[in-house]
Amino acid sequence: MSHNVSHPQAPDTTHSRPTLRGAGRRLAPGRPLNPLSLLAVVTGLALWEILASAADNYLFPTASDVATELQELLSDGSLIDALQDTLTKGLIGLAIGVTAGVLVGRLMASSQMVADSVTPLVSAVFPIPRLAMYPLLVVALGAGGEAAIVLVAVEAFFPIVYSAQVGFASVSERYRWLMRNVGASYLQREALASRAMTPSLVAGLRNAVPTVLVVVVVTELMMGSSGAGFLARDAGNHFEPARALAVVAALGIVGVLLNMVMRKFHERTQSWSLSRQS
């Protein structure tokens, strides 16, 4: 939920992480759909429709009911507003977390002493369920989006700090030497380092983004008064399962789209990696 697949390895730099490239490829649609997969989707939807209609129970809406609700939510603007709210909180939190992560990662990559001291701490803190701090954050920062943003920032920090550190450290010796030789200024060297660590950073972002979405939604479900999570909870409170499921469907689509965007982004920046070429 607030964790994503490569988290256990995220802060621990002493062991190599198992690669899940295959899984990532699989989970991002945009690959040509296999006919069997298409059949599975169509059959699933059809089955849902048939069974739910047969049950004829308010609690079990059909797929068409959910689709209708979704349309309504879109047309009256409430879904768009809610998603906007959710994504804004997520984006701000992500920006803060990424900034902090990159800075700390840079720091850790520059000094072995810092790395040795801080990395084990980050690894140690990582398994703590950070969501448990949310109520406290609400007490501190109020029930508006601030507490959620802070939590998102903290959650995003971990995968980013790891990938930023790895990325900075990966700028191979040869390039650093080359830059010094050519007389590049500090700013130019930092620019190179930033460019070089981007692929690793993007990999970390791919993990962070879905986590961010989940965290915001959870906070809205727990103590929120706006956003997609709130919308779902509200529908539940009003005994409107179709509406709640419509929100779920919308969130699912948002999640899938985000994954697709991140994947494209990742593929684009892969070629920037300097470490590979030496």
Partner 1 sequence: MNESLLRWVRPLLALLLILGAWQAAGSVWSFPAYVLVPTEIAGAWFSSLDAEMGGAVGATALRASAGFVLGAVIALPLATVAALLRPVENLLEPYIGFFYALPKISLLPVLVLWLGYSDSARITMIAVSAFFPIYIYMHAGVRGINPDYLKVAANVGATRRETFLRVVIPAVAPMAMVGIRVGVAISLIVTFAAEVIGQSPNGLGRHIQDGFGILSYEQMYTGIVMFALIGLGIDLLLRVATRNRPSIWGEASPT
Window 187 to 246, contacts with partner 1 (CB under 8 A): 210, 213-214, 217-218, 221-222, 228-229, 232-233, 235-237, 239, 241, 244-245
Closest separation in Å from C-beta 170 to partner 1? 21
Closest separation in Å from C-beta 70 to partner 1? 14
29 forms beta bridges with 31
Nearer to partner 1, 151 or 274 (CB): 151
The tokens for 39 are: 């059949």
Residues 97-116 that bind partner 1 (CB under 8 A): 113, 116
- 165 scored as a contact of partner 1 (CB under 8 A): no
Instruction: Decide if 228 contacts 86 (C-beta within 8 A).
Output: yes
Closest separation in Å from C-beta 240 to partner 1? 9
31 forms beta bridges with 29
HSE at residue 85, side-chain half, CA atoms within 13 A, is: 21
Q: Which of 52, 70, 108, 118 binds partner 1 (CB under 8 A)?
A: 118
Give Cβ neighbours of residue 221 (< 8 Å, ≥ 6 apart).
229, 230, 232, 233
Q: Which segment (33-41, 76-84, 97-105, 195-203) binds partner 1 by CB under 8 A?
A: 33-41
- 179 scored as a contact of partner 1 (CB under 8 A): no
Give the binding-site size for partner 1 (rule: CB under 8 A): 73
Nearer to partner 1, 50 or 114 (CB): 114
- 33 scored as a contact of partner 1 (CB under 8 A): yes
Q: Is 145 exposed, middle or buried (0-12, 13-18, 19+ CB in 10 A)?
A: buried
The whole-angstrom distance between residue 53's C-alpha and the CA centroid of its chain comes to: 36
Closest separation in Å from C-beta 178 to partner 1? 32
Instruction: Decide if 168 contacts 110 (C-beta within 8 A).
Output: yes
Nearer to partner 1, 178 or 261 (CB): 261
Q: How far is it, in rounded angstroms, from Cα 10 to Cα 53? A: 46
Nearer to partner 1, 197 or 232 (CB): 232
3-class state of residue 219 by DSSP:
helix
- 2 scored as a contact of partner 1 (CB under 8 A): yes
- 54 scored as a contact of partner 1 (CB under 8 A): no
Nearer to partner 1, 197 or 246 (CB): 246
H helix runs in 145-185, sequence order:
146-170, 173-182
Q: How far is it, in rounded angstroms, from Cα 83 to Cα 205? A: 20
- 135 scored as a contact of partner 1 (CB under 8 A): yes
